[in-house]
Structure 1
Amino acid sequence: MATATKKKAKVTLQPLGDKVVVEREESQTKTAGGIVLPDSAKDKPSRGTIIAIGTGKLLDDGTRGSLQVKKGDRVLFTSYAPETITIDDEEFLLMSESDILAVIE
Structure 2
Amino acid sequence: MTIKPLGERVVIQKIEKENVTASGIVLPDTAKEESNVATVIAVSEELKNSEDIHCDVVEGDKVIYSKYAGSEVEMDGESVIVLKYQDLLAKLN
**TM-score, structure 1 normalization:** 0.76
| Whole-Å separation in 2 of the counterparts to 1:82 and 1:35 | 32
Is 1:83 the counterpart of 2:50? The answer is no
| Whole-Å separation in 1 of the counterparts to 2:92 and 2:30 | 27
Is 1:12 the counterpart of 2:13? The answer is no
| Whole-Å separation in 1 of the counterparts to 2:44 and 2:78 | 20
Of 26, 29, 34 in structure 1, the residue corresponding to residue 19 of structure 2 is 29
Equivalent residue for 1:94?
Answer: 82
Matched residue pairs, number? 90
| Whole-Å separation in 1 of the counterparts to 2:20 and 2:70 | 25
Is 1:71 the counterpart of 2:62? The answer is no
| Whole-Å separation in 1 of the counterparts to 2:89 and 2:5 | 19
Equivalent residue for 2:91?
Answer: 103
Report the alpha carbon displacement of residue 33 of structure 1 after superposing the two structures with TM: 2.2
Equivalent residue for 2:30?
Answer: 40
Report the alpha carbon displacement of residue 56 of structure 1 after superposing the two structures with TM: 2.7
Letter in 1 for 2:15: E
Letter in 1 for 2:80: F
Point out 4+ residue stretches in structure 1 off by more than 3 angstroms: 63-66
| Whole-Å separation in 2 of the counterparts to 1:14 and 1:83 | 14
Structure 1 vs Structure 2 CA RMSD? 1.7
What secondary structure is seen at the aligned counterpart in 1 of 2:86? helix
Rg: which structure is higher? 1
In terms of fraction of residues, the more helix-rich structure is 2
Structure 1 unaligned spans of 5+: 1-10, 58-62
Instruction: Pick 1 or 2: higher relative contact order, CA cutoff 8 A, min separation 6.
Output: 2
| Whole-Å separation in 2 of the counterparts to 1:38 and 1:90 | 21
Identity of aligned residues (%): 34
Structure 2 unaligned spans of 5+: none
